[in-house]
Amino acid sequence: MSAGALVVPVFEGGAEKRFGAGPLAEAGEITGKFGELTLVHRPEGAAAERVLFAGAGKAAQFDAAAARKLAGIAVRHLKAKSVKRVAFAFDGAHADAVVEGAILANFDPDRYRTANDKKSIDEVAVVAEGAADGVQAAAERGRIVAEAQNLTRELVNEPANRLTPRLLAEAAQKMAAAHGLECEILERPQMEKLGMGALLGVAQGSAEPPALIVIRYRPQAAAKDSAHLGLVGKGVTFDTGGISIKPAEGMEKMKYDMGGGAAMIGAMQAIAQLKAPIPVTAFIPAVENMPGSRAQRPGDIVTAMSGKTVEVINTDAEGRLILADALTYARRQGCTHLVDAATLTGAIVVALGHVHIGLFANDDAMRDRVLAASRAEGERAWAMPLDEDYKDYLKSAFADLANVGGRWGGAITAAWFLKEFAEDTPWVHLDIAGTAWLDDEKPWLAKGPTGVPVRTLVRLAEGWK
């Protein structure tokens, strides 16, 4: 393709002289500092109209995460200048990350803006220098994963009046049909028959009916004794807090409380395209949490599908209730390993800020698998404690356990609640409340939904051995 701009990484201490960079480097205009951008028009010796010299930092520290971020920085800079076609002159080692970063950066949450000044990159290419073996396949993988992550971002960004539980189910069905996946939607009568009292208790305050979305991927060559990965995602399409209502300030962002469920839909799209070697089933309990006249009240006691009883102390701790029944259902559907993702607690944001996903596990091997996948994909996760002592916070005088454990260790007690329903199945819980949404635009990513942890989940399934 004829590129409108060629992006050339420049490392600190390097002697970049191509395309007229030498004099600029000597003058100190190009230093290689990470994220530094220098745009040259009609560069000497380049077929592109422009060359963007992009500071890549220290060569020894340049990894896939850095390549992804740098590609995003370059794309958001160039799209603002109405560039339509971009080529990256990288060495090919990180072709998938470069393509991912470019496609993710090209996304803007502007579907409902009617202005005609929207800008977008139309084409992206990686011009591999040196050995080019596998670059095409890597770039294609990057495209698949990034498009899946952007699907998640599109769903999370939908306002609650345009994405009810039923409409989320329809979006899942549409994706499944397009990629050869099975999709089943359990409705209220089926959930009542299964005894999903925890999930239905949350849903009863809304006029919008709940849905339990089940998406199944079955590889053709899976062994009979293969692991069966269950992906469980919180799908609260809007969370008012219920009777324990949230403050008005910032409540508009509670459309993103289905970020875990949306991540499962996106992950399943990529898992199908990349043909993961093991069976994977996603379970997305979708509800609205509303303070209607039929809403559950603090002090209510519900019976979960597992048979455990729960005293509802705070109706704003609803995510763990719907996940409890979904985890039980996933186990009964034959899942041998479980990962759930949820925008579950504000407490994890207090603990880890907006940098790390909080990771909790009942099994060391499963924890290490997910941590390895998150590191490989640059979606940083931090292993949190889950000691037996924390269970004491969830004691109830009237039921088997309470749905909250008080002020202290809130993210941990929420995870402990879920652990009760994962039982002895190897399980990891990802609390993405601090990482699923950006309050401010970054140089490499638009404000709004991030699509976390799609890449981690895809890597986990794709690399399962």
What residues act catalytically? 246, 320
Instruction: Give the containing element (helix H, strand E) for 421.
Output: helix 410-422
Kindly state the DSSP code that residue 301 receives in the 8-state scheme. Answer: E
Q: Which residues contact 159 (CB under 8 A, 6 or more apart)?
A: 112, 255
What whole-number distance in Å separates Cα of residue 329 and Cα of residue 305? 8
Q: Is 92 within 8 Å of 25 (Cβ atoms)?
A: no
Which residues in 273-324 belong to E strands, given as ranges?
280-289, 301-303, 309-311
Regarding beta strands 280-289 and 229-233, do their DSSP bridges make them parallel or antiparallel, or are they unpaired? parallel
**CA 283 – CA 340 distance, rounded (Å):** 9
Identity of residue 327: L
Strands 301-303 and 309-311, how do they pair? antiparallel
Neighbouring CB atoms inside 10 A of 209's CB total 16
Angle between helices 454-462 and 259-274 (to 10 degrees): 40
Query: Is-contact 260 235, C-beta < 8 A?
Result: yes
Residue with tokens 């590609």: 71
Contact between residue 442 and residue 354 where contact means Cβ atoms under 8 Å apart: no
Q: Are 233 and 341 in contact (CB under 8 A)?
A: yes
Tokens linked to 273: 């395209």
Residue 314 · residue 402 · CB < 8 Å: no
**Position of tokens 């007229």?**
20
For the chain, the distance separating the N- and C-terminal CA atoms, rounded to the nearest angstrom, is 39
Question: Sign (positive/negative) of CA torsion 147, 153, 157, 160?
Answer: positive
